[in-house]
């Protein structure tokens, strides 16, 4: 809703009373359609930091407009700002496909988000490590480095089949 203030000016140039006019761009009784109401999977993954046992929660939904899967970080325990935007699963998979045979940092996932919260990529990595998604695992070198799981292709195919349901 926006507010517009109209000032009335008297003939002598002195401001008169202000009139506040409220307008809205939405029509009354017009509900916004949620294209992400078909949640096909919800779950949680552990945050990456070894200093905490807190979790990050996610939803995976089939968009009823384009039929594609989208993932969002829905909430987290213990604090930390993050974006709740829906990210195309295929964008995430494209990045992961490029990481085959090498350890990688969470920051490679940064480009899938339009918002710039510093926690987005780390929280997403925690989700991708979760038992529910399971596309990546900790690299033996560092808790903050990841590698694709050995059965990555099978798990990826299983996730993508969720659009069939």
Q: Could you tell me the mean pLDDT of each successive run of 10 residues in the chain, 165 residues long?
A: 45 50 50 75 95 95 91 93 94 97 95 91 97 96 94 96 79
Residue-level pLDDT at 138: 96
The β-bridge partners of 21 are: 4
Q: Is residue 5 part of a domain?
A: no
Question: Is 25 inside any structural domain?
Answer: no
Q: What is the pTM of this model?
A: 0.78
Q: What is the pLDDT of residue 2?
A: 44
pLDDT of residue 68: 92
Is 132 part of any domain?
A: yes
Residue 81 lies in a domain: yes
Domain count, the chain: 1
Residue 96 counted as domain residue: yes
Buried/exposed 43-77: b ≥16 CB within 10 Å, e otherwise: bbbbbbeeeeeebbbbbbbbbeeeeebbbbbbebe
Residue 95 is assigned to a structural domain of this protein: yes
Q: Which of 78, 34, 40 minimizes the C-alpha distance to 58?
A: 40
Confidence (pLDDT) at 30 = 55
Q: Confirm whether 118 is domain-assigned.
A: yes
Measure the CA–CA gap between 6 and 127, rounded to whole angstroms: 51
- 5 burial (CB, 10 Å; 0-12 / 13-18 / 19+) is exposed
Residue 94 covered by a domain? yes
Largest CA distance in the chain: 82
**Structural domain boundaries enclosing 152:** 38-164
pLDDT recorded at residue 33: 65
The pLDDT of residue 21: 46
The 10 Å Cβ neighbour count of residue 157 is: 10
């Amino acid at each position: 809703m926006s507010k517009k203030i109209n000032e009335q000016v008297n003939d002598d140039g002195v401001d008169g009373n202000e009139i506040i006019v409220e307008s809205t761009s939405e029509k009354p009784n017009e509900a916004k359609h949620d294209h992400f109401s078909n949640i096909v999977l919800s779950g949680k993954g552990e945050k990456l930091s070894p200093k905490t046992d807190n979790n990050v929660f996610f939803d995976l939904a089939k968009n009823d407009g384009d039929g594609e899967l989208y993932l969002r970080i829905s909430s987290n325990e213990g604090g930390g700002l993050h974006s709740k935007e829906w990210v195309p699963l295929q964008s995430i998979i494209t990045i992961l496909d490029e990481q085959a045979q090498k350890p990688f940092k969470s920051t490679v996932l940064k480009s899938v988000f339009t918002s710039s919260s510093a926690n987005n990529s780390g929280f997403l990595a925690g989700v991708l490590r979760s038992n529910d998604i399971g596309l990546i695992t900790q690299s033996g070198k560092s808790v903050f480095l990841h590698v694709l799981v050995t059965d990555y292709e099978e798990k990826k195919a299983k996730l993508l089949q969720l659009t069939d349901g």
